[in-house]
A and B are shown apart, each in its own frame.
Chain A
Amino acid sequence: MRFVYVDNAATTPMSEKAKQALFDAIDIFGNPSSMHSAGVAAFRSLDSSRQRIAKCLGCEPRELYFTSGGSESDNWAIKGAAELMSRMGKNHIISTKIEHHAVLHTLQYLEKRGYEVTYLDVSSDGYVTAEQVRDAITDKTGLVTVMYANNEIGTIQPVAEIGAVCREKGVLFHTDAVQAVGHLPIDVKKENIDMLSLAAHKFHGPKGFGALYIRKGIVLPNLIEGGAQERGLRAGTENVLLAASAAAALEDALSNLDEKNRRIAEMRDKLIDNILKIERTRLNGGRSPRLPGNVSICFEGIEGESLLLSLDLKGICASSGSACTSGSLDPSHVLLALGLPHEIAHGSLRISLSDQNTMEDVDYILSVLPEIVNRLRDMSPVWEKIKQEEQQQP
């Protein structure tokens, strides 16, 4: 059976470059803090990885702090900024309703501790505007955190404009760019970003490695005490191996990016155009600006997990925002924020492509999907009702 992996927004397989870098670095065992030659070799490798990743983001190496991944970076940025702003008598944070839980749950944690959070609505196609951010800023606002691109519906937010508003108002601006780094050209300086979170495994790098860019001049409180690593802010012996692999992965992801994205977007658009030919389906999130690899569609009358597992039985690994797939019983907060009713949000399917996918993968998905949808709808009392209503109101 064909194996088609189209859940790249969840995680990606490592690229050949990332694997090679890992193998090449495997014997670098020294502690980068040690003075001897083994330590120096490790220090040089780590230093080079930091320079290379910094160059990809348009920042200085000293502004880049390595972490264990996106969630840690988000937690650190937001809790750290909260502590900074409270010293200035500020307690208001602005975010959106469609953030990843790493951001949302961190904000909820802060709300319990007396911070006030404004969660901006998104439009029905999944965007916020810089004007909304401007209107929400008060003299108590100390932080704005808005994701670069959404993990479920792929919408890309106007980060540079939001950054400009924040800079003008003197408010810190953090962006969770976990879905964007390695997929879109990013320049933290040009885009007025103060803090940015990334995770290597979303761009064909290793799991367990991420980074937080912190613009120089912002002195975030220490995350982990106990050593001078990461400029004293995050103690613990550095992961030289994963840093080398992540740097190689990011450089590789960004090489020929335009050409790659054109090809990926072509696959995306073919999927969207053809899936929407199935009756009672709708695309979640606007078509542009949208991540080149994101397809998110709701199918009325069926539940997403059944769809997901049916695809899996055909060798296709995708994802759903249905309640059942998240371990919760509510459908995705992102789909609900678009204004979708629960019963429609339950029927969502996300296909996330990478440059390792091919048009053959797309054709294969399109060849099996309609049959699966029909089978599930045939046994669905919800679909039966939809059809009955259609007949009553022609």
Chain B
Amino acid sequence: MPYSEEVMEHFKNPRNVGKIEDADGIGEVGNAKCGDIMKMYIKVKDNIITDVKFNTYGCASAIATSSMATELIKGKPIEEALKLTNKAVVEALNGLPPVKIHCSVLAEEAIKAAIADYYRRKGIDMKLDDCASCEIGCCHKKSAGDDHQ
């Protein structure tokens, strides 16, 4: 299944790529072994996410979901950003191939991890849900051939 135009657009021209040197919260999720790592940086002022940047190692959908997720939370209050679901990211990208859904889960988690880090720095402990992507299958076994004969 090929990628949607929206995914390709965000892969070609990802929004908010980079780092924030004086970030208020940093979240990193994923595993290089599985082929995806997302790192999100947020700046918070008066409970509003004023800036967000990301660095991602991964496939086109990992880059596109990171990009879209940052767009969806930029300028939003923290409470609203916490409500962002992977489904919303997928919908905003006009769909993802089934094997790539875990990328959207990773994007949701990266944002939550960055917000958790922000709270931690303020001395507030925020419980995060268990790693949903691990269940969805970061490294699940399913093989398919290349070079079909």
Contacts and interface: CB of A to CB of B under 8 A. Distances in A.
Interface of A: 9-10, 69-71, 73-74, 100-102, 105, 151-152, 178, 197, 199, 210, 301-306, 309, 313, 319, 321-333, 341-343, 346, 379-384
Interface of B: 8, 11-12, 14, 17-18, 28, 32-39, 54-63, 99-100, 102, 137-149
26 contacts: A69-B149, A73-B149, A100-B145, A100-B147, A100-B149, A105-B145, A301-B57, A302-B57, A303-B59, A303-B62, A304-B59, A305-B59, A306-B11, A319-B146, A324-B60, A324-B100, A325-B146, A328-B144, A329-B142, A330-B141, A330-B143, A331-B35, A333-B143, A342-B33, A379-B56, A381-B39
Nearest to B139: A329
A81 to B, nearest CB: 18
B32 A10 contact: no
Contact of A321 (B99, B102, B146, B148): B146
Nearest to B60: A309
A129 B74 CA distance: 58
A145 to B, nearest CB: 14
Is chain B's interface secondary structure helix, strand, loop, or mixed overall?
Answer: mixed
A151 B35 contact: no
A370 to B, nearest CB: 18
B34 to A, nearest CB: 7
A313 B32 contact: no
A253 to B, nearest CB: 17
Contact of A383 (B17, B57, B60): B57
A151 B145 CA distance: 11
B88 to A, nearest CB: 22
Contact of A324 (B12, B35, B39, B149): B35
A199 B55 CA distance: 43
A206 B82 CA distance: 54
Contact of B57 (A101, A303, A323, A333): A303
List 10 tightest A-B contacts by C-beta distance, closest first. Answer: A70-B149, A101-B145, A324-B59, A305-B59, A343-B32, A327-B144, A380-B57, A382-B57, A71-B149, A346-B35
B11 A323 contact: no
A363 B60 CA distance: 25
A9 B57 CA distance: 27
